[in-house]
Structure 1
C-alpha cells in the first residue's frame, strides 16, 4: 500500500493531467464535430475554433487543478497565459497540419483524422504544459520534501 501511495504522489501531475487532458480532448472533438458536422464549417475553421475553446478549458484546468499553480499578481497570471498559449501555438500548427494530412492528403473521414490528431497533440501538449507551470512543480516537490522531512522527524521521536 505504501508503494502505491508513493507512486501516486510521485506521478500525481501526470495522472491528473491525463484525466484533464482527456477531458480537453473530448471538448476539442465535440466542439469540432458541432462546428464541422452541424454548422457545416470548413474543417480548418472548425478545427481552429475547437482548438481555441479546448485550450481555454485546458489553461484553467491545468493551472488550477493539475499543476496547482498559484499567482500573486495579474502580471504573473498574464505571463502564464502568454507562455501557455505560446507553446500551445506550436500544437495549433501541428493540429491543423495533421488535419490537412489526414483529410486532404490521406482522404480520412474528418472525425478519424481529429481523433488521431488529438492523440498526437495530447502528448506534445503535456510536454509543453508541464514546462509552462514548471515553477509550480518545483514548489510541489519542495512541499513533498518538507512533508517527508517532517514525518521522518516525527517518527524518530516515537521510537
Structure 2
C-alpha cells in the first residue's frame, strides 16, 4: 500500500492532469459537436469556439486543481494567463492543422477527426501547461539550491 501511495504522490500532477484534461477534451468535443452538427457551422469555426471554451475551462482547472498554483497578485495571474494562452495558441494551430488534414485531405468523418485530434493535442498541452504553472516552482527550487550551496560554503569557512 505504501508503494501505491508513493506512486500516486510522485505522479499526482500527471494523474490529475489526465482527469481534468479528459474533462477539457469532453468540453471541446461536445462544444464542437453542438456547433458543427447541431448549428451546422463550418468545422474550423466550430473547432475554434470549442478550443476557446475548453481552454478557459482548462486554465482554471489546471491552475487551481492540477498544478495548485496559488493566486498571488493580479500581475502574477496575468503572466500565467498570457503564458498559458501563448502555449495553447501553439496547440490551437496544431488543433486546426490536424482537423484540416484529417477532414479535408484524408476525408475522415468530422467527429473521428476531432477525437484523434484531442488525443494528440492533449499530450502537447500537458507538456506546455506543466511548464506554465511550474515555472515559478522551478525558480524557487533553484534559489533554494543556491542558498544551500552558499550556506555550506559559509559553514566550511571557505569564504573570503
TM-score for both structures, normalised by structure 1: 0.85
Q: CA deviation at 1:136?
A: 5.8
Quote the residue 1:105 is aligned against: 105
CA contact (8 A) 1:94 1:121 kept: yes
Quote the residue 1:146 is aligned against: none
Q: CA deviation at 1:72?
A: 1.4
Q: CA deviation at 1:134?
A: 1.1
Higher CA-based Rg: 2
Q: CA deviation at 1:71?
A: 2.6
1:43 aligns with 2:43: yes
Q: Equivalences for 1:58-69 in 2 at 5 Å? A: 58-69=58-69
Unmatched 5+ stretches in structure 1: 142-159
Q: Equivalences for 1:10-159 in 2 at 5 Å? A: 10-135=10-135, 137-138=137-138
Q: CA deviation at 1:135?
A: 3.5
RMSD: 1.8
| Residues in 2 aligned to 1:6 and 1:99: alpha-carbon distance in whole angstroms | 39
**Count of residue pairs the alignment pairs up:** 142
CA contact (8 A) 1:70 1:136 kept: no
Runs (4+) off by over 6 Å: none
| Residues in 2 aligned to 1:58 and 1:72: alpha-carbon distance in whole angstroms | 19
